[in-house]
Amino acid sequence: MDKRELVDERLAEMDVSALTADGFDDAIIGIASERVVYSRTKCIEILMTRDGMDYLEAMEYFDFNVEGAYMGEMTPIWVDDEFLNE
């Protein structure tokens, strides 16, 4: 079972309809306050690998199009964990 399936299963057990970010399943790091939590660093790495963006392009795209896309109270949580990888 992959991360997304595990999260979907857990949310169903909690009877919660949290939103997820398409294409960023590998960046899921957990669930908090009934919302799906993503690693901001891993999301940027996915954009670089999957879409061929350089770091600055990926960061700008993520900031504006992903993290900046508020879709209500169940919008995912984006954790800035870059400093943990140093």
Task: Compare 4 and 39 and report the one with higher pLDDT.
Answer: 39
In the block, tokens 């990926």 appear at: 58
The band of 84, judged by pLDDT with boundaries at 50, 70 and 90, is low
Residue-wise pLDDT tens digits, 29-82: 999 999 999 999 999 999 999 999 999 999 999 999 999 999 999 999 999 987
Confidence of residue 1 (pLDDT cuts 50, 70, 90): confident
pTM for the predicted model, two decimal places: 0.89
Domain boundaries along the sequence of the chain: 3-80
**pLDDT number for residue 79:** 96
